[in-house]
């Protein structure tokens, strides 16, 4: 009967998809309304009879969903699906804002709502804080959909989605702390609560990471078929939730979020593009089912609670609603705004902030938490009544008030209007479509349809034309990266980074105009924090594999960029020609040429520093290319029916094994042991082995990135360095001096006990051998020739 009721509900729910599209209302709103109506119908007319229809209605409307079912059955699917569909790299970039909103924002919202409602209704503060925590977890479905429709900056959508994933976890943890205190009758000890909060939160992250790493290794090993991958990933979601929540008593949601994100980030390394695609489709399907069922059932359940509402509760609801919206506004405008002013975050426009505020809907998590209160007999009946009714009404209000009006707000704020640049791009795309249609179907009837009629491109001002030109070139750059991906020259994660770069710049052009774009385009070869962290790991713990990976990735990205930019520049005139004259084209092409030059320079620097490594990577790319071409040829041949399926599968598996072998990065030719490096420094070449070993024992290795400042004029010095490889620049007041392999620097501060006399910066990748103050003294004491040379050089330099 249960199966009959649930599948019937699902079938009924999905038939409402077209209605939601026609009414331009979020699907979840329609489902909740459907649920409410079913619930109300069941209450007013008790169905009798034993026919299939009345049997179903009886079954469906008596589905009493428990908090356990929502938490243990639905939540892992919903959360994992959301984590799988998020763009992890983008999320990591926005992590600061996401955690700020999800942790500090949620706490703030809980307290504001709690105090205001308690003040107004006279209900105890703890009960109202509990209500505040329950009502503060946002559900992103509606906002994300709207953001997609209006082409909002991708980072904003990522921020909202990320926030809602993490704030579910925060709300659950806060809820269990508060409810624990209430049941025990203890007062709130902030220190203790904060400690518990971090233990549970971080514990969840740890569980998620460990389980995801184990499952990823398993999937990587088995890698049998998309069905197996999907089944294992479902097991991963549930397993991490149950292990964390039930057995280890840490945050299950956090475990699923982390597992989902980690698996998502790893998937483009362990699975092929096709497998990833299948996996996402599977999860999308599952998420759709879960969402369809949960919102209808939510409506049915809520219908039971809201039937006994009185006037006092309605006015409390109003206060709750207003307090929650004000709290959200304070978080979005105040908290985010403050971080933007401190330049810790990139600013978002007021219009988008308004949408984020109004679009903070509430959903299944809030209801599940309210149900927990209802099911737990330790709560007093008045508290249960108060929480369940208010939360039900509040969830409904956000669905029926906010979700239904958000598109009006968007229109009113003008967010749905295309910028002049977008307008032109759209008209170009239209013309392109028309062109292709004609080319490919010469006999097609002529298209007099208004939507495809030739359009006069709107005229644009000079600045907008610069932005337009860049957009056109960036778009064709992305197309070239896609081509590289399709032919298998680059892997999914490399493509992800490259296309992100393009998309972020397009976003910037669309929303901030052309002024800021030049500087960010030039910045593209800079070393990001990931690279610096890899260098730090290498320097601190001697772990070179992360650094090797980074360098390999940099090489692949720079090579792909060089290839694409050369082609873009080659085609630039014809690409731009349609919409702009030569004078307007020039600055756009100039900027792209500058980018190419920077990319080529950096690629050359990398090649010069690691010749054997770069050659090995080039070889690897060529071999991969070959195998990928063979795979696609095999596909063609087996499609044509020339091969039996078994033979094709076997061949495919062989090629896949070969591909996997090639995916391994070649070892970096970065001599990492101090003895080898000492051998590279000319002044140490006269030392015997015993002496070199003594020197190696006190020296430390340092790897520097191009542009890294090793020491700054005026600071107190603790180290001096010998250069084993690479070049550095000493910036003196009048001139600058270049130092290379075999030279040393930083000795003057140690000898004279004075501040640094100059700033020294690495020009390329450098390997340095460092001596701290103590080692410096002992080396000078033990090696008189070195001492003489160092002292002599230092005195020369101080005269210069």
Q: Is 645 exposed, middle or buried (0-12, 13-18, 19+ CB in 10 A)?
A: exposed
Strand partners, 9: none
Residue 545 or 752 having the CB closest to ligand CMP? 752
387's enclosing H/E stretch is: helix 381-397
Residue 212 or 727 having the CB closest to ligand CMP? 727
Q: Give yes or no for a contact between 253 and 168, defined as CB atoms under 8 angstroms apart.
A: yes
DSSP-assigned letters across all residues of 14-54: HTTHHHHHHHT--HHHHHHHHHHHHHHHHHHS---S-SHHH
CB of 609 to ligand CMP, least distance (A): 22
Give the Cα separation of 302 and 388 in Å (integer): 9
Residue 316 or 757 having the CB closest to ligand CMP? 757
CB of 800 to ligand CMP, least distance (A): 4
Q: Give yes or no for a contact between 175 and 373, defined as CB atoms under 8 angstroms apart.
A: no
Residue 2 or 799 having the CB closest to ligand CMP? 799
Site string for ligand CMP, 741-770 (x = CB under 6 A): ----xxxxx------xxx-x----------
Residue 382 or 792 having the CB closest to ligand CMP? 792
Site string for ligand CMP, 677-716 (x = CB under 6 A): ----------------------------------x-----
Site string for ligand CMP, 781-800 (x = CB under 6 A): ----------------x--x
Residue 108 or 730 having the CB closest to ligand CMP? 730
DSSP-assigned letters across all residues of 38-97: HHHHHHHS---S-SHHHHHHHHHHT----HHIIIIIIHHHHHHHHHHHS-HHHHHHTHHH
Measured at the CA of 251, the angle between CA 248 and CA 253, to 5 degrees, comes to 125
Q: Does 727 bind ligand CMP (CB under 6 A)?
A: no
Residue 37 or 732 having the CB closest to ligand CMP? 732
Q: Give yes or no for a contact between 565 and 477, defined as CB atoms under 8 angstroms apart.
A: yes
For 277, 279, 284, 458, 764, the CA distances from 274, given in Å and listed in that order, are 5, 9, 15, 40, 39
Q: Give yes or no for a contact between 345 and 333, defined as CB atoms under 8 angstroms apart.
A: no
Nearest Cα neighbor of 476 from 578, 339, 572, 369 is 572
CB of 738 to ligand CMP, least distance (A): 9
Residue 139 or 767 having the CB closest to ligand CMP? 767
Residue 694 or 732 having the CB closest to ligand CMP? 732
Residue 367 or 711 having the CB closest to ligand CMP? 711
Give the Cα separation of 653 and 645 in Å (integer): 12
CB of 711 to ligand CMP, least distance (A): 5
Residue 629 or 709 having the CB closest to ligand CMP? 709
CB of 707 to ligand CMP, least distance (A): 17
Using CB under 6 A, which of 114, 282, 717, 764 touches ligand CMP? 717
Using CB under 6 A, which of 128, 143, 730, 786 touches ligand CMP? 730
Q: Does 732 bind ligand CMP (CB under 6 A)?
A: yes
For 330-358, give the secondary structure using H, E and C. HHHHHHHHHHHHCCCCCCCCHHHHHHHHH
Residue 284 or 777 having the CB closest to ligand CMP? 777
Helix and strand numbers, DSSP H then E, in the chain: 36, 8
| Stretch of residues binding ligand CMP (CB under 6 A), selected from 79-87, 394-402, 663-671, 730-738 | 730-738
Give the Cα separation of 663 and 720 in Å (integer): 40
Nearest Cα neighbor of 592 from 556, 559, 567 is 567
| Stretch of residues binding ligand CMP (CB under 6 A), selected from 154-162, 591-599, 679-687, 729-737 | 729-737
Q: Does 470 bind ligand CMP (CB under 6 A)?
A: no
Q: What SS3 state is found at 745?
A: strand
Q: Which residues, including other chains, have CB under 8 Å from residue 188's CB and lie 6 or more apart?
A: 126, 129, 178, 181
Site string for ligand CMP, 627-656 (x = CB under 6 A): ------------------------------
CB of 157 to ligand CMP, least distance (A): 48
CB of 735 to ligand CMP, least distance (A): 8
CB of 797 to ligand CMP, least distance (A): 4
Residue indicated by tokens 């015993």: 690
CB of 730 to ligand CMP, least distance (A): 4
CB of 756 to ligand CMP, least distance (A): 4
Residue nearest to ligand CMP (CB): 749
Count, residues near ligand CMP per rule CB under 6 A? 16
Residue 280 or 756 having the CB closest to ligand CMP? 756
Site string for ligand CMP, 254-293 (x = CB under 6 A): ----------------------------------------
End-to-end CA, the chain: 93
Residue 92 or 737 having the CB closest to ligand CMP? 737
- Contacts of range 57-62, beta carbons closer than 8 Å, 24 or more positions apart: 59/1, 59/2, 59/4, 59/5, 59/8, 60/5, 60/6, 60/8, 60/9, 60/300, 61/300
CB of 751 to ligand CMP, least distance (A): 8
Residue 617 or 730 having the CB closest to ligand CMP? 730
Strand partners, 744: 722
* Crossing angle of helices 273-306 and 75-85, rounded to 10°: 140
Site string for ligand CMP, 399-428 (x = CB under 6 A): ------------------------------
DSSP-assigned letters across all residues of 102-151: IIIIHHHHHHHHHHHHHHHH---HHHHHHHHHHTT--B-HHHHHHHHHHT
CB of 767 to ligand CMP, least distance (A): 17
Using CB under 6 A, which of 409, 604, 634, 737 touches ligand CMP? 737
Q: Is 367 exposed, middle or buried (0-12, 13-18, 19+ CB in 10 A)?
A: buried
Residue 636 or 735 having the CB closest to ligand CMP? 735
CB of 210 to ligand CMP, least distance (A): 46
| β-strand pairing of 700-704 with 709-711 | unpaired
Residue 94 or 747 having the CB closest to ligand CMP? 747
Give the Cα separation of 787 and 751 in Å (integer): 11
For 749-793, give the secondary structure using H, E and C. HHHHCCCCCCEEEECCCEEEEEEEHHHHHHHHHHCHHHHHHHHHH
CB of 275 to ligand CMP, least distance (A): 54
CB of 681 to ligand CMP, least distance (A): 15
CB of 698 to ligand CMP, least distance (A): 19
CB of 734 to ligand CMP, least distance (A): 9
Q: In the complex, which residues of this chain contact ligand CMP (CB under 6 A)?
A: 711, 717, 730, 732, 737, 745-749, 756-758, 760, 797, 800
């Amino acid at each position: 009967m249960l199966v009959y009721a649930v599948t019937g509900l699902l079938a009924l729910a999905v038939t409402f998809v077209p209605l939601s599209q026609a009414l331009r209302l979020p699907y979840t709103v329609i489902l909740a309304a459907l649920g409410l109506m079913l619930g109300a119908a069941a209450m007013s007319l008790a169905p009798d009879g034993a026919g299939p229809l009345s049997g179903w209605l009886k079954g469906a409307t008596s589905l009493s969903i428990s908090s356990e079912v929502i938490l243990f059955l639905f939540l892992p699917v919903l959360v994992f699906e959301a984590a799988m569909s998020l763009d992890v790299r983008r999320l990591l970039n926005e992590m600061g804002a996401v955690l700020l909103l999800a942790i500090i924002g949620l706490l703030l919202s809980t307290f504001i709502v709690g105090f205001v409602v308690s003040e107004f209704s006279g209900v105890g503060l703890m009960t109202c804080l509990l209500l505040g925590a329950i009502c503060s977890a946002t559900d992103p479905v509606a906002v994300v959909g709207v953001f997609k429709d209006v082409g909002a900056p991708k980072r904003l959508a990522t921020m909202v989605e990320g926030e809602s994933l993490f704030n579910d976890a925060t709300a659950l943890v806060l809820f269990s702390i508060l409810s624990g205190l209430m049941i025990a009758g203890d007062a709130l000890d902030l220190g203790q609560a904060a400690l518990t909060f971090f233990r549970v939160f971080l514990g969840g992250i740890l569980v998620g990471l460990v389980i995801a790493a184990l499952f990823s290794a398993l999937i990587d090993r088995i890698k049998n078929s998309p069905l197996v991958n999907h089944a294992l990933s479902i097991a991963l979601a549930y397993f991490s939730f149950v292990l964390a929540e039930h057995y280890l008593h840490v945050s299950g949601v956090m475990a699923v979020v982390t597992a989902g994100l980690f698996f998502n980030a790893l998937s483009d390394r362990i699975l092929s593009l096709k497998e990833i695609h299948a996996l996402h489709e599977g999860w999308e399907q599952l998420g759709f089912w879960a969402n369809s069922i949960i919102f209808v059932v939510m409506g049915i359940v809520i219908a039971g609670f809201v039937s006994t509402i009185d006037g006092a509760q309605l006015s409390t609801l109003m206060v709750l609603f207003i307090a929650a919206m004000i709290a959200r506004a304070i978080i979005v405008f105040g908290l985010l705004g403050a971080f933007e002013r401190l330049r810790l975050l990139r600013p978002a426009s007021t219009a988008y902030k308004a949408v984020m505020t109004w679009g903070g809907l509430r959903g299944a998590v809030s209801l599940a938490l309210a149900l927990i209160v209802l099911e737990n007999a330790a709560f007093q009946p008045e508290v249960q009544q108060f929480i369940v009714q208010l939360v039900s009404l509040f969830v409904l209000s956000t669905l029926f008030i906010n979700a239904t009006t958000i598109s009006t707000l968007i229109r009113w704020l003008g967010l749905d209007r295309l910028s002049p640049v977008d307008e032109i791009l759209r008209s170009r795309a239209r013309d392109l479509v028309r062109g292709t249609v004609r080319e490919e179907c010469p006999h097609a009837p002529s298209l007099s349809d208004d939507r495809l009629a030739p359009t006069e491109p709107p005229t644009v001002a000079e600045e907008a034309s610069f932005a337009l030109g860049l957009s056109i070139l960036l778009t064709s750059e992305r197309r070239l990266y896609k081509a590289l991906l399709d032919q298998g020259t680059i892997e999914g994660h490399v493509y992800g980074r490259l296309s992100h770069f393009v998309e972020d710049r397009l976003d910037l052009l669309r929303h901030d105009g052309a002024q800021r774009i030049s500087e960010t385009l030039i910045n593209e070869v800079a070393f990001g924090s990931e690279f610096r962290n890899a260098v730090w790991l290498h320097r601190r713990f001697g772990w070179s594999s992360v650094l090797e990976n980074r360098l390999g990735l940099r090489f692949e990205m720079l090579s792909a960029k060089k290839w694409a930019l050369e082609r873009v520049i080659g085609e630039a005139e014809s690409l731009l020609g349609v919409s702009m004259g030569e004078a307007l084209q020039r600055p756009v092409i100039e900027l792209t040429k500058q980018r190419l030059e920077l990319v080529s320079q950096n690629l050359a620097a990398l090649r010069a520093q690691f010749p054997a490594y770069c050659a090995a990577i080039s070889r690897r790319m060529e071999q991969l290319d070959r195998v990928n071409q063979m795979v696609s040829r095999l596909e063609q041949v087996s499609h044509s029916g020339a091969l039996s399926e078994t033979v094709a599968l076997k061949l495919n598996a062989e090629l896949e094994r070969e591909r996997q072998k090639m995916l391994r990065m070649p070892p970096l030719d970065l001599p990492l042991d101090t003895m080898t490096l000492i051998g590279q420094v000319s002044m140490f070449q006269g030392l015997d082995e015993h002496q070199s070993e003594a020197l190696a024992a006190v020296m430390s290795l340092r790897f520097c990135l191009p542009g890294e400042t090793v020491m700054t004029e005026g600071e107190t010095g603790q180290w001096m360095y010998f250069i084993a490889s690479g070049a550095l620049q000493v910036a003196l007041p009048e001139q600058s001096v270049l130092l290379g392999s075999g030279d040393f620097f930083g000795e003057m501060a140690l000898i004279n006990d004075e501040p640094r006399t100059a700033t020294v910066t690495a020009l390329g990748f450098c390997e340095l051998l460092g001596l701290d103050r103590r080692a410096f003294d002992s080396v000078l004491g033990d090696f008189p020739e070195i001492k003489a040379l160092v002292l002599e050089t230092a005195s020369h330099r101080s005269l210069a």
